[in-house]
Amino acid sequence: LAINGLTALAFVVVGIMAYLAMRFEWKFAVAAIVANLHDVVIILGFFAAFQWEFSLSVLAAILAVLGYSVNESVVVADRIRENFRRMRKASVAEVIDHAITSTMSRTIITHGTTETMVLAMLLFGGPVLHYFAMALTIGIVFGIYSSVFVMAPITMWLGIRREDLVKPTANQAIVD
């Protein structure tokens, strides 16, 4: 279980990095992976600290949380890229702050709806779904945190710039 689980986790991480590096920029890929692994470490920390049973369903929940968290990271990264195009005079910090602020209502609604369903599984799913739902609950809560307070600052720390995301137009390329 441990070897296969680590293999699955490695494949997911490599796939996410490749996707984000192609879709955005390597700095977003690195920041998103750190943020998503942050979620995994927290889930594993809860399971270790409380000595909860770790099973295949918990591993499935962790992989689902990775997918769910990368979606949130993509939404924030996409809004950052969009804001770099729109907010030409703003600093990097202002662009990232505006991106986080503008995606917050969507994040709360989406995660709140999902968390309601997961809590229903936790409360009414019985012992079979208990740890699966527990891992999802922890992952969703910390996924919100990591996309805002881990991914965005790491992106800034890696030195994201407007030039990394906004390709010059034909007129700008000729003038420059």
Other C-beta atoms lying within 10 Å of the C-beta of residue 146: 25
Per-residue b or e along 127-138, where b marks 16 or more CB atoms closer than 10 Å to that residue's CB: eebbbbbbbbbb
Q: Which of 1-5, 66-70, 86-90, 123-127 has maximum average pLDDT?
A: 123-127
Angle at 23 between CA 22 and CA 25, to 5 degrees: 70
| 3-state SS class at 154 | helix
Q: What is the pLDDT of residue 166?
A: 67
Domains of the chain: 2-165 (1.20.1640.10)
Q: What is the pLDDT of residue 82?
A: 92
Mean pLDDT for the chain?
Answer: 87
- What is the spatial distance between Cα 94 and Cα 49, in angstroms, rounded to a whole number? 38
Distance of CA 21 to the CA centre of its chain: 14
Q: What is the pLDDT of residue 23?
A: 82
pTM to 2 decimal places:
0.84
- Helix (H), strand (E) counts: the chain: 8, 0
- What is the spatial distance between Cα 42 and Cα 58, in angstroms, rounded to a whole number? 13
How large a percentage of the chain has pLDDT more than 90? 51
